[in-house]
Amino acid sequence: MGLGNTVVLAQVTTFLISFIVSFFLFVPLSTNQREFNGKCLLYATGTWKSNNSVDDGVTQLKEIKWGPDSACGFNIFMGVMVMLVSLFYVVWESLFLCRDTDSSWLGSFIKALLSIVMMLLLFTSSLTLSVGLNKWCRLIERPESQLISCETAQYIDFLQDYGIDQNNFYTEMQMAQFGGWCAFVCWVVIMAMALVKVYMSHKQEAFMTSMNRERQRLLQKVGHHSSSTI
């Protein structure tokens, strides 16, 4: 395997990390939505009321207006998209690495554009996830809820009326946040390396064009000199 091209090796490594962390994004979110019966807890609102039907002292969250499905769906979509694109480029760049070659200027340019788009989409999805979870946790930590924190609330049954398995919801959302922001950082690095490769490819092609032009000029000069001598 040719390891001379350090930029390609660095890209393969970053794409591989991006592929791995993508599972931290869409797997926990998919699991959480299944446990919440298809409901999205991001940006959800509700009212805290005492549950008089049971004598457990647990205040219940009532009249819940669940968050938009697009908030969770967009993050799940981005996780799957990152996984597929990263897997494709791991294989694609590994071929160049094994052959000790590099992609063309056009290939580098397309990769740079794609990385910019992916970076912006991941920033949007990760920000949506973080803000939505923060709003849900503020709802959980209201004084009337009698809950200590959002983290400990996942072990207390405050959604009895909805038949929801709320265990580990905070852990799942933290994993999704970790996956989303790590994927964003990976694609920032990928974008930077892609732009460097575009610059290097453009500089190399400009150098080759200049060399060809100089060679043609010298050949014409030699040919003209030979004709004059004859």
State the SS3 of 153-207: HCCCCCCHHHCCCCCCHHHHHHHHHHHHHHHHHHHHHHHHHHHHHHHHHHHHHHH
Amino acid (1-letter code) at residue 131: V
Q: Is the pTM of this model over 0.85?
A: no
pLDDT band at 2, cuts 50/70/90? very low
Taking each helix axis from N to C end, the angle separating 69-99 and 169-229, rounded to the nearest 10 degrees, works out to 40
Query: 146, 29, 151, 149: which is closest to 82 by C-alpha?
Result: 29
Distance, CA of 90 to CA of 87 (rounded, Å) = 5
DSSP class of 66: E
The pLDDT assigned to 4 comes to 45
Domain segments of the chain as ranges: 6-199
pLDDT band at 97, cuts 50/70/90? confident
Q: Which long-range contacts (CB under 8 A, 24 or more apart) does 198-205 make?
A: 198/105, 198/108, 198/109, 198/112, 200/7, 201/102, 201/104, 201/105, 201/108, 202/105, 205/105
| Residue 25 and residue 179 in contact, taking contact as beta carbons nearer than 8 Å | yes
Using one digit for the tens of pLDDT, what is the confidence trace for 120-162?
A: 999 999 999 999 999 999 999 888 878 888 888 888 888 887 8
Task: Write b or e for each residue in 197-209: b if 16 or more Cβ atoms lie within 10 A of its Cβ, otherwise e.
Answer: bbeebeeeeeeee
Task: Write b or e for each residue in 160-169: b if 16 or more Cβ atoms lie within 10 A of its Cβ, otherwise e.
Answer: eeeebebebb
Using one digit for the tens of pLDDT, what is the confidence trace for 76-93?
A: 999 999 999 999 999 998
Between 187 and 55, where is the model more confident? 187
